[in-house]
Structure 1
């Protein structure tokens, strides 16, 4: 505590019965003995007489602590002091935030007080005036915090302003996050102020700049998020802040043409956060990321800032070539210009930036040589990112060794032609991160790269046309945590000892190559492995059971191989999935779809509480959907479609609060939809089609919020849209929303609340027994692309408002009992042909051949004698008689057979006897 004595009364109340005092040992200093103590007043559940409210602190409580220096009393509902204030004469730091303070000390108080925090105090009207007046009793106050207070309905007079302005030692003043008008007049006389924080206020008055201009000692000024707009005033003293070192104008709307003129006179400025600068010779850090800089003179101005060490111009809409003016910044250590539209070659003058350590140029259209020859002279360069540019191979590749020793290198692009592996990498020994992708490179796997760089952590060589076998280094590499060589032409077998050579590997991705042979069992010894992707290769044999011991594994993808036995997705596995998968307690992504698995759902798939993605589709699973996933409440995607599951949809699915995708189509499920499913607020896609579900369709809530944070690049689903069943994969699934209840036995009317799903893309209710009209509320489905209501018993007219669905590409109401005129042939409805409306007897108008006339009969009313609608299709009396006769005939035949054949008779009686005994 550096000699400070601290008293802490957090979350207490003086009216409580129990006070707990804890005094820590004394600490000797060179000049005096300071008691270090902590005073805690604990909150008690049973309040005295049930009363609570504001109270006045009796300072005599602190009589034993004459040397007390720091006192923390936040959040105690304290209204002020009573008695013996002079006992705290040595107090230097006082925290009274989150109280109801109306008056601190009028006289006889701690005159040595230097730090006072009064954040978020709930005083109103004259109480706040009294509080400000009492601050004059602290002549040594250097730091005052009044932020997060409500100044509404408070009027400050000249007397109050003079009291606050009479703090001659005040250097740090925080007024951030105030509600109401900031009392600028109260601070006019604060000539010694060095730090002023006015952030998160609404400052739309010119008074603010006039007042700040008088504070000529200011070094730090924070005006971020203050709703400032227009121009900075140059005639109100604002340009007199010669000592200002840090100016934060971020998150405002200021006119850049005036900022240069105003800020340019602040010659001591070292840190500036906004696009405002000029003649800043001492500026060391300039961050304009996210600004719109389309002025060519900006780089000429930056070139004059010869003290710059860090320059960040990311995402600034810059275009053209890299400006040569940057080459004059000899002290520059970090240059970030990623995510712009820069083009052309790297200027040779970049070699002048001899102090440069980090260069980030990714996401541009620059032409960067694979050899990085323009950067060879930058001896201090440690980090270079040239991803997503045009990487090309020079005709005369350099044999010279660069002066730099990179620690991080990232290159990717769409360059044409093929070159050898960069020669300069043969001379590198300090690499920690290397990522090269989408570049055509000749050669085999560079095992020498791993051998030379013993501290290499991440190695990614994706889509580089590398070929040959996968070669291990000559010795174990304990630092490598990620190895990605997917989408190449590697062949042969994975070395059996791979687990021993990379014992701390966390990510292994070798998908989309030509590897064959068996999967090495040594992979199971990689206890830190979190992601294993061996998909799209030629592996055969069985999955080693050692994989079951990988308790840290989160994603497992073995799809598109030739595995047998315990095989996963897109292979030829038959039979049950063995229980070792349930041992993977960290598993988040599980895909065993498109196999020939049978039997009940695997008994231990739900053992992992971290499971988020479950894909079991296109197998032969049977039986009910058991509660194996009940404990995995974090599941986001569940695909059990295309199986032989039976029974009802379990209610516990409604407890999966994070569920976004639920696909149960093409099974034998029956019964009604549990109402709990309608309460899944995160659900974006539900497919219950091709089952035997019945009952009414419920009102649904479909989430429309994208979920980038939870997106998994391997996530996919199969869904019918516009009459075509496709597999959707990639970023599109973040925005895909749909409902498919087709091919079931649903009855009743369509709930009009479905019209509130304004962001839904697909709605398919076809092939059911729905009745009633098409809800007019469907006209609010403004983003729907596919709407299928065919093969039902819908009645009434088609709402003409549906023509306002301008995104609709597939529409069908065929095979219903609709009547009246078809919607006008406008917008999207001009593209729908006769088959979209056919088999509606009383429907007329284009594109149907039947024209609408004045004598058209009205729509038929539902017949109460319709046997089919009443659930019958024959005379029930005849049915009962015929059934009884058939039953009697069967009994007579069985009796005759047993009478004629004594062997069958003895067997029958033995069976009856055994059955009775077992019961």
Structure 2
């Protein structure tokens, strides 16, 4: 009854005819098997020896399921009830199943200590699978010492506890295990399990994510000559990485990554472990050079030495003799010299990770032999020369990651043949020329070409109908022309970064068709015209009718030949200015980032009130443009805004008092506009903004600027009359000026000479005129000259 869906109640008609049935498999039955059905199994199939109900929605009460349905099957030898969301502790009736050889309760929500569970009495058990539960398991396995038949014990992802008593630390258990798996995401600090000193038949040992003390247990290899797999990942092991004296020809897989090993990799490692298929010692503190004896590992397919402090060059013997190597990771070390010489036989490579070193020279021609290459990671080195044309012949390439080098020349036209390409990152180099019009791989998801010397226009063929493209970063180049109208064909585009180029024309309304858009940066270009009012169609608007959410690109290149994942997490990153600082955003934070930057252009017109509907937005920068009109009161709807910059425009009117409702606002600037009136109440976030947020607006007042003063609170004699006189004098001045220029000049001279009061008023008028001229210059010249 494998992978079937039973509708309705499962009844017992017909089951009495199965009295002699000894094998029942109901894996993936996908129906609620109630206790009455289990009672039918107990009554109708007393001879059962094998019962599997994995993934069968048994319910949550393990005691009830086992007690009422299964514990009385006295002949049962194999029981599989994994992946059923069972909860609680194991029932004691389980101890009565004395014929049980195999028990699998993995991937449930079971709890309790195995020291006080019925498992202690199941001495007939040979294979015990408890993984992915919440059991408390002593690392000594002392409660199971009497289980002489136990061969396989799997308790991964439980709570591993320290030794129970010192008296058993040297006691030999009655079992001889073949496979052991213990791992924990939490639990006490423990020592390396002492019972392993008495094991001699081990073939598979997995002790990962356990906070253990001590050094690498080379004695485990010496005592177990048939050991094939050893995983000691993230165990806090320290000291040197010492190998056994004698050769161990059975070991195939060794993973000791993410520990604290120091010193050097033994130079004779290739002679002592010649049969390794996979070796991972990444994320340690090893130094010295890479032993050339790795070249003696003729079966090696995965080699990961990344994230250490290794020095020297890549051994030529490794590149010549490891002909079966598919995955080579030497990234984030201190390697130097050229990548590979002409003597190169790693033709089966699928992933080459050399980023974060000091490698120099050109990308070697020898890599052109790697016809199966899928991932090429060379970023953050000192590589030079042109990007090879022959890369376009490696049609299986999915990732080309080569930023932060000294590469030059154009992007090869051969890249147009990379139909499987998903990520292209050659940013921060000296790449020149224009983008190939034929480059539009259908599977492309990320394109990072920022900080190069690319020029020309975005041609229609480039990226045309790349419906899988999520990130397009072409910032800090020399691109010109307009933003193409076909951009709306990039239906999955989430991050569009075109800042710091020479783009011109208007902001196309087709951008509003990108309903997945989260971040748009068009800053520091020559764009003109109005701001489209339709951006609230994108995911910048929280109530957009789409369910898409950006996920960090964490891809895996899987070694199918041995079914072992060789994971390579690609954390995309790009630069975006927020809070007046250019930050590098990377990894999962990108899924949370939302912003619109149109600063440092020549945009005109009013700010569309619809911008206030972009309720997800965190950064809004419209500074250094020629925008006019009022600040929309709808900005009070930007509940997640952290940075709002409207400075260096020609905005007028008052600052909407509703902006005090923006509780997350950290950076705010309306400097150098024509705003007037009282600023919003000096409270909440607005109490953190100083005068620089408002400077350049003569007629603004209120804290932190000078306090606003109304006529009702001023003295009639001094202030009221001054204002009235000033108003009458200015009107008279303009009337007289239109009538006779000579009369005005003569009248002014007489008044200034006779009356000191009017003389002071005249100089006040001259000062006001000079101030007005100053702000006229600032508004019309400063934005284009000092925009950053």
Q: With structure 1 as the length reference, what TM-score do the two structures score?
A: 0.60
Residue 32 of structure 2 corresponds to: 150
Which segment is superposed worse, 282-291 or 224-233?
Answer: 224-233
Secondary structure of the residue aligned to 1:387 is coil
Q: Distance in 2 between matches of 1:257 and 1:246?
A: 18
- Select the residue among 75, 87, 106 that pairs with 1:192: 75
* Residues 831 and 745 of structure 1: CA distance in aligned 2, closer, same or farther (over 3 Å): same
Instruction: Kindly indicate whether the alpha-carbon contact (under 8 Å) linking 1:285 and 1:311 is maintained by their aligned counterparts in 2.
Output: yes
Q: Secondary structure at the match of 1:424?
A: helix
**1:721 Cα deviation (Å)?**
0.9
Structure 1 CA distance for aligned equivalents of residues 179 and 185 of structure 2:
16
Aligned counterparts of 2:438 and 2:680: Cα–Cα separation in 1: 62
Q: Following the alignment from structure 2 to structure 1, what is the Cα–Cα distance between the partners of residues 581 and 74?
A: 75
Aligned partner of 2:45 in structure 1 is 167
Match of 1:214 among 96, 113, 132: 96
- The structure-2 alpha-carbon separation of the partners of 1:483 and 1:669, relative to structure 1 and needing over 3 Å to count, comes to same
The separation in 1 between residues aligned to 2:91 and 2:147, in whole angstroms, is 15
* CA distance 1:317–1:754, change in 2 (3 Å): farther
Question: Aligned partners of 1:348 and 1:95: how far apart in 2?
Answer: 47
- The equivalent residue for 1:387 is 282
1:343-382 aligned at under 5 Å gives the runs 343-346=238-241, 356-372=251-267, 377-378=272-273, 381-382=276-277
2:241 touches 2:266 (CA, 8 Å); kept in 1?
no
Aligned pairs for 1:677-696 within 5 A: 678-681=536-539
Q: Post-superposition shift, 1:310?
A: 1.8
Bigger fraction of residues in helix: 2
Unaligned 5+ runs, structure 2: 162-167, 556-567, 715-788
Match status 1:737 vs 2:594 = yes
Tell me which of 6, 13, 17 is aligned to 1:137: 17
After TM superposition, list the pairs within 5 Å mapping 1:460-609 onto structure 2. 461-462=330-331, 472-474=341-343, 478-483=347-352, 498=366, 501-502=369-370, 505-508=373-376, 520-532=388-400, 545-546=413-414, 548-556=416-424, 570-573=430-433, 577-582=435-440, 588-593=445-450, 594-595=452-453, 597-599=455-457, 601-606=459-464, 608=466
CA distance in 1, matches of 2:102, 2:297: 44
- Corresponding residue for 2:7? 121
Matched, 1:307 2:201: yes
Distance 1:209 1:515 in 2: 64
Alpha-carbon separation, structure 1, partners of 2:25 and 2:547: 46
In structure 2, what is the equivalent of residue 14 of structure 1?
Answer: none
Say whether the 8 Å CA contact 1:605–1:629 is kept in structure 2: no
Distance in 2 (CA, whole Å) between partners of 1:765 and 1:581 is 33
Matches within 5 A, 1:787-826: 787-788=644-645, 793=653, 795=655, 797=657, 805=664, 809-812=666-669, 819=678, 822-824=681-683
Q: 1:224 aligns with which of 106, 118, 121?
A: 106
**Residue 525 and residue 338 in structure 1: after superposition, are their counterparts in 2 closer, same or farther (change >3 A)?**
same
Residue aligning to 1:241? 122
- 2:131 and 2:259 map into 1 onto residues whose CA distance is 26
Instruction: Classify the secondary structure of the residue corresponding to 1:606.
Output: coil
Relative to 1, partners in 2 of residues 1:465 and 1:286: Cα closer, same or farther, differing over 3 Å?
closer
Equivalent runs, 1:41-60 vs 2, <5 Å: none
**Secondary structure of the corresponding residue to residue 439 of structure 2:** helix
Over residues 570-625 of structure 1, what are the superposed CA-to-partner deviations in whole Å (9 max), with x where a residue is unaligned? 4443xx6453435x566554455553623463434316555454334443432452
How far apart, CA to CA, are the structure 2 residues paired with 1:684 and 1:185? Answer: 55
Helix, strand or coil at the partner of 2:692: helix
Residue aligned with 1:454, SS: coil
CA distance in structure 2 between the aligned counterparts of 1:477 and 1:598, rounded to whole angstroms: 39
Q: Higher relative contact order by CA 8 Å / sep ≥ 6: 1 or 2?
A: 2
Between the aligned partners of 2:679 and 2:407, the Cα distance in structure 1 is 62
How far is the alpha carbon of 1:286 from its aligned partner?
1.9
Residues in 2 aligned to 1:485 and 1:202: alpha-carbon distance in whole angstroms: 43
Q: What's the offset of the Cα at 1:255?
A: 3.3
Preserved CA contact (<8 Å) 2:326 2:349: yes
Greater C-alpha radius of gyration? 1
Structure-2-length-normalised TM-score: 0.69
- Contact 2:446 2:470 (8 Å CA) reproduced: yes
Q: Deviations over 1:814-872 (max 9, x none)?
A: 665674774447xx766532223554967534x44438999889xxxxxxxxxxxxxxx
CA RMSD of aligned residues (A): 4.9
Aligned residues between the structures: 665
Deviation, structure 1 residue 336? 1.2
For the pair 1:723 / 2:568, whether they are aligned, the reply is no
Q: Secondary structure at the match of 1:254?
A: strand
